[in-house]
Amino acid sequence: MNPAAVSTLPAAAVRASALLVLLVVWQIVAWKVNDPLLPSPAAVFVSLVHHLTHGELLHHLGKTLMRVAAAFVIAMLVGVSVGVWMGRSKLVNNLFDGMLVLMLNLPALVAAILCFIWIGLNETAAVLAVALNKIPTVITNIREGARALDTQLLQVGEVYRVPRGTVLRRIVLPQLYPYIMASARSGLALIWKIVLVIELLGRSDGIGFQLGTFFQFFDLTSILAYTAAFAAVVFAIEALLLRPLDRRLNGWRA
Amino acid sequence: MKLVVDIRRKRHPGKAKDTIGRLAFSAESGEFVAIVGPSGAGKTTLLKIIAGLDKDYEGGLDGAGDDARLGFVFQEPRLLPWLNVADNLRLVTPALSPALSDAEIDAGLAKVGLADTAAQFPLRLSGGMQRRVALLRAFLVRPELLLLDEPFISLDAPTAESLYQVLAELRSDVLPTTLLVTHDLREALALADRVLFVSHSPAQLILDYPIRLPKPRRRDDDAVSEMHRALIAQYPELLGGLGTARPNKEAA
């Protein structure tokens, strides 16, 4: 095949075949090694089906998803509000900047331990611990966007005395969408990762808790099955939610 | 609404020199006044002050700022690229209740020669078309005071000429007191009832020149050309070098 032909292949086909090659390599290596500590993709798939139909995978996945959603919404709301505020006001920025740097560098584990000890081993503490890890990165992102707002367009709102709420909705937020989308993407990834650690630490359900249990039995097949279920959800959110949203918000670009 | 401008001094923070010196004039209700001066003379700053965007100056205003319903056409169309044409027009008219109907928007667009563009996004329109939308936007608020900041700059002559007509037509309905800032003397002569010449910054008034030619005029009308020639012959140092006029020239 010549290079021109390769480049005309649809993007989806390229992505799928890369994943497929990975699976095939994994399967071959697993055969060769033949050790329960390296289960083959086929074994993982069988385990996944088993956990889906007979186990509690859906229950734990649901729990984890709820926590991810709650932490995500809180982090985005707080992060965007504070970010815009800090980006538009020097005073507010000076007030919160030190705290922001501190929060950015606060280890996830420390935030989790503090929340669990101070608030208790409950849902609120878990969700808050996750959100606390994400909020500072959202703020940092959105603050950049708020600093880069186009004064010329803001002046249009000012000259025509457009009410504040409308200015925010129609003039400010659309300029922040790229920053918000970037925060949402990286945020979802970060929250996924942290939520499991926090479940492992202080909850008795959710995927993180389950992984901890499988770890104690060295049940690698189940761990990978849970991971696969989880990866499928991430792909679904990206394809069904984020990408269509992106397209919608960018429809005006010529 | 009569506009009275009396600026004693305007200096941008951190600048060593005043942008605007003593600058006082008035415009009668419905009058079209052009302000002509060299680039960088502080003309845009003047419009910002009159619009209330810049409140950091010494002096006073009447019939401007928060007193008057304001239309403002900027150097660039400044349409919001993520809103279609109709939503761009609705954005500036929040006080209108009920909101502008589709039919009213279509009628407005038809008047400026843009029928069937209500659902288009601005970036899909040509520069001239975007400027038409920006002009229409300024008139939809039924302004008492209309400020035009070189809105026809960087357009080819036929496009500019067609926009003059759009402007004249829109003005005839609403008749706002109009202030046009430009460094194009022909444009000023073609459009205005009166031309104010301002100096290099710090901007000061150096000549107040009424135009009593019948309207509508075109920029290449014989009468306009004749007046252009006569002005340059009469005030060579003022207009021959709009860029070199000195601030201490006395008003004629």
B43 domain-assigned: yes
Q: Which residues neighbour B130 within 8 Å (Cβ) at sequence distance 6 or greater? A: B77, B79, B122
B59 domain-assigned: yes
Query: Domain check: are B1 and B31 in the same one?
Result: yes
Judged by CB atoms closer than 8 Å, whether chains meet at B83 and A252 is answered as: yes
Query: Domain check: are B181 and B250 in the same one?
Result: yes
Residue B4's CATH number:
3.40.50.300
The nearest CA of chain A is from the CA of B245 a distance in Å of 30
Residue B252 has pLDDT above 50, yes or no: no
B162 domain-assigned: no
Q: What are the φ and ψ backbone dihedral angles of A38, each rounded to 5 degrees?
A: -130, 80
Q: Supply the range of the domain harboring residue B185.
A: 1-69+145-154+177-252
Choose, out of A156, A167, A172, the residue to mutate when testing the contact with B (most B CBs < 10 Å). Answer: A156
* Neighbour order of strands in the sheet with B145-149: B70-73, B145-149, B177-182, B32-36, B194-198, B205-210
Query: Domain check: are B64 and B85 in the same one?
Result: no
B217 domain-assigned: yes
Query: Domain check: are B149 and B241 in the same one?
Result: yes
Query: Domain check: are B181 and B235 in the same one?
Result: yes
CA A227 to chain centroid: 15
pLDDT of residue B246: 40
B136 domain-assigned: yes
Residue B241 has pLDDT above 60, yes or no: no
B160 domain-assigned: no
Residues of chain A with C-beta less than 8 angstroms from the C-beta of B91: 156-157, 160, 162, 166, 170-171
Q: Report the pLDDT averaged over residues A189-196.
A: 89
What whole-number distance in Å separates Cα of residue B20 and Cα of residue A157? 26
Query: Domain check: are B37 and B149 in the same one?
Result: yes
The nearest CA of chain A is from the CA of B45 a distance in Å of 13
The dihedral over CA atoms of A246, A247, A248, A250, expressed in degrees to the nearest 10, equals 80
Query: Domain check: are B240 and B213 in the same one?
Result: yes
Cα–Cα–Cα angle for B79, B85, B90, rounded to 5 degrees:
85
- Output the average pLDDT for chain B: 86
How is residue A252 written in tokens? 């005006």
B14 domain-assigned: yes
DSSP characters over chain A? --HHHHHTS-HHHHHHHHHHHHHHHHHHHHHHH--TTS--HHHHHHHHHHHHHTSSHHHHHHHHHHHHHHHHHHHHHHHHHHHHHHHH-HHHHHHHHHHHHHHHTS-HHHHHHHHHHHH-SSHHHHHHHHHHHHHHHHHHHHHHHHHT--HHHHHHHHHTT--HHHIIIIIIHHHHHHHHHHHHHHHHHHHHHHHHHHHHHH-SSSHHHHHHHHHHTT-HHHHHHHHHHHHHHHHHHIIIIIHHHHHHHTTT--
Interface of B with A in 41-70 (CB under 8 A): 51-53, 70
Query: Domain check: are B58 and B123 in the same one?
Result: no
How is residue B138 written in tokens? 């300024």
Q: What's at A146, amino acid-wise?
A: A
Contact between residue A85 and residue A189 where contact means Cβ atoms under 8 Å apart:
no
Domain count, chain B: 2
Residues of chain B with C-beta less than 8 angstroms from the C-beta of A170: 80, 83, 87, 91
pLDDT-derived band at B94, boundaries 50, 70, 90? low
All domains in chain A, ordered by first residue: 58-249 (1.10.3720.10)
Judged by CB atoms closer than 8 Å, whether chains meet at B74 and A156 is answered as: yes
B229 domain-assigned: yes
pLDDT-derived band at B98, boundaries 50, 70, 90? low
Query: Domain check: are B61 and B85 in the same one?
Result: no
Q: What are the φ and ψ backbone dihedral angles of B103, each rounded to 5 degrees?
A: -65, -40
Query: Domain check: are B80 and B55 in the same one?
Result: no
Judged by CB atoms closer than 8 Å, whether chains meet at B70 and A159 is answered as: yes
| Per-residue model confidence as pLDDT tens digits over A81-116 | 999 999 999 999 999 999 999 999 999 889 999 999
Contact between residue B51 and residue B65 where contact means Cβ atoms under 8 Å apart:
yes
Partners of B207 in the β-ladder: B197
pLDDT-derived band at A8, boundaries 50, 70, 90? low
Query: Domain check: are B79 and B56 in the same one?
Result: no
Residues of chain A with C-beta less than 8 angstroms from the C-beta of B72: 156, 159-160
Contact between residue A159 and residue B70 where contact means Cβ atoms under 8 Å apart:
yes
pLDDT-derived band at A238, boundaries 50, 70, 90? confident
Residues of chain B with C-beta less than 8 angstroms from the C-beta of A155: 53, 74, 78
Judged by CB atoms closer than 8 Å, whether chains meet at B94 and A174 is answered as: no
Query: Domain check: are B248 and B149 in the same one?
Result: yes
Q: What are the φ and ψ backbone dihedral angles of B72, each rounded to 5 degrees?
A: -135, 125
pLDDT of residue A254: 58
